[in-house]
Chains A and B, each alone.
Chain A
Amino acid sequence: MKKILSIFILATIICFSSCDRIKSPIIKKNTVTGSSFVTKNNFAVYNYKKALLEDYTGMRCPNCPEGTIIAENLLATYGNSLVVVAVHAGGLSNPFGNYTADYRTEAGDKWNGSTGYGIVSYPTGLINRKAYSPNDVKLDRTAWTSVMTTAMADPFIVKLKVTTNYDTIVGALNTDVTAIFNTAYAQNLNISVLVTEDGIVGKQDDKGVEIEEYEFEHMMRGALNSPWGEALTTSAKAANDSVKYSLPNFNLKGMAYVIDKPDPTPDVVKPIVVNDKKISVIVFVYNATTREILQVEKVKIR
Chain B
Amino acid sequence: MLNSYFKSSVTAAFLLTFILNAFNINAQSIADEANSVHGYFQIDAQYYKPDTLIGAPPVPEKMLSNAFGNINYTKGKFSAGVRYEAYNNVMQGFDTRYKGQGITNRFARYQDQLLDITIGNIYEQFGSGLIFRTYYEPGLLFDNSLDGIRVISNPVRGLTLKGLVGKQRSFFTVGPGIVRGFDGELNINEALDSLAKNIKTKVILGGSFVSKNQSSQNPDFVMPENVGAYGGRMNIMRGGFNFFAEYAQKENDPSAANYASIGGKNYYSYQQGDAMFLSTSYATKGFSILLQAKRIDNMSFRSDRDATLQNLLINFLPATTKQHTYLMPAFSPYATQPTGEVGGMAEIQFKVPKGSALGGKYGMDITLNASQANLLKPININDSTTTSKLYRTNYEEAGSELYHDFFIEITKKFSKKFKGTFMFANQFNNINIVQHNTPKGPYKNVLANIEVIDLTYKYKGNSAIRMELQGMQRDNSDTLNLGSWVVGLIEWTPNTHIFVAAIDQYNYGNPVASLRLHYVYFSAGYTSGPHRISLSYGKQRAGIFCVGGVCRVVPASNGFAISITSSF
Chain A residues close to B by CB (< 8 Å): 1-3, 5-7, 9-10, 12-14, 16-27, 115, 190, 225-230
Contacts and interface: CB of A to CB of B under 8 A. Distances in A.
A12 B180 CA distance: 11
A25 B226 contact: no
Contacts of B316: none
Nearest to B151: A9
Given A9-B161, A13-B165, A20-B251, 13 more contacts: A16-B180, A17-B182, A17-B211, A19-B227, A20-B226, A20-B252, A22-B222, A22-B252, A26-B222, A26-B386, A190-B217, A226-B219, A229-B217
B388 A9 contact: no
A27 B222 contact: yes
A26 B221 contact: yes
Contact of A26 (B180, B210, B388): B388
Contacts of A24: 222, 386-387
B115 interface: yes
A6 B161 contact: yes
Contacts of B252: 20-22, 25
A142 to B, nearest CB: 29
A227 to B, nearest CB: 7
A26 B223 CA distance: 9
Contact of B180 (A3, A17, A21, A226): A17
8 contacts: A7-B155, A9-B163, A16-B180, A17-B182, A17-B228, A20-B251, A22-B224, A25-B254
Contact of B268 (A10, A16, A25): A25
B87 interface: no
A218 to B, nearest CB: 24
B114 A2 contact: yes
B387 A25 contact: yes
Interface of B: 114-115, 151, 153-156, 161, 163, 165, 180-182, 184, 209-211, 215, 217-228, 251-252, 254, 268, 270, 384-388
A3 B156 CA distance: 8
Nearest to B161: A6
A22 B251 CA distance: 9
Given A2-B155, A25-B254, A17 B161 contact: no
Contacts of B114: 1-2, 5
Contacts of B385: 26
Contacts of B387: 23-25
B44 to A, nearest CB: 33
B151 A226 contact: no
A226 B224 contact: no
A22 B154 CA distance: 36
A16 B388 CA distance: 28
Given A2-B153, A16-B165, A22-B270, A27 B221 contact: yes
Contacts of A18: 211, 226, 228
A20 B229 CA distance: 11
Given A5-B155, A10-B161, A24-B387, A19 B115 contact: no
Contacts of A25: 221-223, 252, 254, 268, 270, 387-388
A22 B268 CA distance: 12
A22 B385 CA distance: 13
Nearest to A230: B219
Minimum-distance CB pairs A-B, first 10: A19-B228, A226-B219, A228-B217, A6-B155, A13-B163, A20-B224, A115-B215, A17-B211, A13-B182, A2-B155
A248 to B, nearest CB: 14
A21 B153 contact: no
A291 to B, nearest CB: 10
A131 to B, nearest CB: 14
B211 A227 contact: no
Contacts of A230: 219
B251 A21 contact: yes
A105 B151 CA distance: 40
A9 B180 CA distance: 13
A18 B225 CA distance: 10
Contacts of B156: 2-3
Contacts of A227: 217
Contacts of B224: 19-22
A18 B180 CA distance: 9
Given A23-B387, A226-B217, A14 B182 contact: yes
A24 B222 CA distance: 8
A203 to B, nearest CB: 33
A12 B164 CA distance: 10
A26 B228 CA distance: 20
A266 B52 CA distance: 65
A20 B217 CA distance: 16
Contacts of B225: 20, 115
A148 B385 CA distance: 45
Nearest to B114: A2
B480 to A, nearest CB: 31
In this complex, which of A2, A20, A23 has the most chain B Cβ atoms within 10 angstroms of its Cβ? A20
A211 B83 CA distance: 63
A283 to B, nearest CB: 15
A19 B268 contact: no
A22 B161 CA distance: 30
Contacts of B215: 115
B217 to A, nearest CB: 3
A17 B209 contact: yes
A12 B114 CA distance: 17
A23 B387 CA distance: 6
B3 to A, nearest CB: 13
A19 B228 CA distance: 5
Contacts of B217: 190, 226-229
A175 to B, nearest CB: 14
A13 B180 contact: yes
B163 A19 contact: no
A226 to B, nearest CB: 3
Given A20-B226, A26-B388, A10 B211 contact: no
A180 B155 CA distance: 64
Contacts of A13: 163, 165, 180-182
A84 B123 CA distance: 49
In this complex, which of A2, A22, A115 has the most chain B Cβ atoms within 10 angstroms of its Cβ? A22
A223 to B, nearest CB: 9
A17 B222 contact: no
Contacts of A225: 219
Contacts of B218: 27, 226
A19 B210 CA distance: 9
A190 B218 CA distance: 11
B354 to A, nearest CB: 54
B211 A26 contact: no
Contacts of A9: 151, 153, 161, 163
Nearest to A227: B217
A19 B230 CA distance: 11
B251 A12 contact: no
A226 B385 CA distance: 18
Nearest to A15: B180
A27 to B, nearest CB: 6
A14 B221 CA distance: 27
Contacts of B222: 22, 24-27
A24 to B, nearest CB: 7
Contacts of B209: 14, 17
